[in-house]
Structure 1
Amino acid sequence: MMGGDLNVPLEPSWDTSVGCSSIPLHILRSCRSSLHASRFADCWCTLHPTGKDFSFYAHPSQSYSRIDYLFIPQYHLSALRSAAIGTATWSDHAPVSITLRSPMFRLTAPNWRLNDSLLSDPLVAEEGRQVLTDFFEENATGEVASPIVWEAHKCVIRGYFIRKGAELSKRRSAAIRDLQQQITQISSNHKREGNPETMAHLTELRRSLNTLMNTSYHRSYLRSKALFHLHGDQSGRLLARMIAKKRSAKYIAKLRNSQGVTQRLPAKLLKIVRDYYAALYDLQGNTCPQDLAHKHSGLPN
């Protein structure tokens, strides 16, 4: 897969709102020829052969163009399910997304986690305390064993938080969806008309959407921070991945031996390191280990 901002409308007559481009024709031919030689197919154009949409708005020229692409090899097009150009919100480029079918995908059961933001809501916290109070008043009567009541109250309070989290998520999703629909509609109008007042309204809607989505970003940040706090110094998958990154960063590809010859074979590199430390600590001389210990500790002989 290959994708990104190419800064080139491959078909200026169709991929720009003005129908032309300032890029020389031979550069466009070279780009199309390279893609064809590598058997790369434009995902969005493949699924929308008669569609016309843009991913970038240039304020100086007040024109739209499609310069953001996602390509996959032609023999993988059977796995392509959808391709879409989104609406530019926090960036001046619109996101381009594709959906691929993978034979390796397997559905897994989601793991529930408490939404920490619910605890900071005084109304939710007060209602949660009332739910627990009512539960224990109705069930802690002595007819049911205390361990069963204690385990059951966990299910009750978890169900309460799941319901509150779902309500909050639905309200936030509805607000985001409404703003995205407005942005899409106004962006389409601006693509056709180019009215400056429409662009000002569009900018305001994008700012409102960013403010609303910052809550989700902040929650993801807190979860990542908690994950590193809990597992950062424990032996596990997280630590192993971090060590693997450091190991690759400290990779030694080549060394120069005492004769000044650059060596790259692992056996040669190991010999260079061994000879270096042997000479550094005088391991082949008459120095005894006790002298080395005194030398490193700074103690007198």
Structure 2
Amino acid sequence: MPIICPVDFNCVLDEVLDRSPPRVGTKLHMTVMLRSVMDNLHLVDIWREMHPTSTTFSCYTPTHGAFSRLDRFLLASNGTLDVRRADYQVRFLSDHSPLLLECGTHAPRPAIPLWRMRPELLGDLEYRRDIQEALTGYFGGNWTTAQSRGIEWEALKVAIRGESLTKTFVRN
């Protein structure tokens, strides 16, 4: 699912590239918090990704005589959006420049059909015996080696699927 988060937290992420004049060595609490949120949610500043060395600013503060890049779009870093353009527009009616984001979504991949066990196999006593042997063998060799019960469950399903497919192909 695409995530687009437009933000203006009134802080810069890079004191050198996002502010003029730069304040080198300054670490603001808000900047640290915003970076932490971005890291935890796997978000990227898409404009900075597309313009890694540019010094374009989105805000002018006359009191400090400073330009800053405060406005940004944070996007999920999983690449679900096809970003074609991210550009600041001419500032008007506000002290902030609008940021234009033009994007589409990637064509959805066709779903891989899920494997389902054929229920009629449960009525086959030989199949049930084979599965029981496979499970006994699985638990005998793997019960304590997995790092979590979730991994154990996924591996068990793979073992059952493999045994079922083998028996299905052998019988057909």
Shorter-chain TM-score range: 0.5 to 0.7
Q: State the aligned residue count.
A: 104
CA 1:3–1:22: 2 relative to 1, 3 Å: farther
- Equivalence for 2:8: 5
Higher relative contact order (CA 8 A, sep 6+): 2
- Contact 1:9/1:21, CA 8 A, preserved across alignment: no
Secondary structure at 1:27 match in 2 = helix
Identity %: 25
Cα distance in 2, alignment partners of residues 47 and 13 from structure 1: 17
Please give the TM-score of this superposition, normalised by the length of structure 2: 0.55
Secondary structure at 1:81 match in 2 = strand
How big is each residue's C-alpha offset from its partner over 1:30-76, in whole Å with a ceiling of 9 and x where there is no partner? 22121111010111101111211000000111110000011110113
- Contact 1:8/1:23, CA 8 A, preserved across alignment: no
Secondary structure at 1:76 match in 2 = coil
- Equivalence for 1:47: 50
CA 1:39–1:103: 2 relative to 1, 3 Å: closer
How big is each residue's C-alpha offset from its partner over 1:84-118, in whole Å with a ceiling of 9 and x where there is no partner? 011101111000111112368xxxxxxxxxxxxxx
Please give the TM-score of this superposition, normalised by the length of structure 1: 0.32
What RMSD over aligned residues (CA atoms) do the two structures have, in Å?
Answer: 2.2
Q: Are 1:101 and 2:101 matched, yes or no?
A: no
Aligned residue identity for 2:104:
R
Secondary structure at 2:16 match in 1 = helix
How big is each residue's C-alpha offset from its partner over 1:127-168, in whole Å with a ceiling of 9 and x where there is no partner? xxxxxxxxxxxxxxxxxxxxxxxxxxxxxxxxxxxxxxxxxx
Cα distance in 2, alignment partners of residues 87 and 80 from structure 1: 21
- Contact 1:56/1:94, CA 8 A, preserved across alignment: yes
Unaligned runs of 5+ in 2: 108-172
- Equivalence for 1:65: 68
- Contact 2:80/2:106, CA 8 A, preserved across alignment: no
- Contact 1:14/1:52, CA 8 A, preserved across alignment: yes
Rg bigger for which structure? 1
> Which structure has the highest helix share of the two?
1
How big is each residue's C-alpha offset from its partner over 1:253-281, in whole Å with a ceiling of 9 and x where there is no partner? xxxxxxxxxxxxxxxxxxxxxxxxxxxxx
CA 1:81–1:20: 2 relative to 1, 3 Å: same
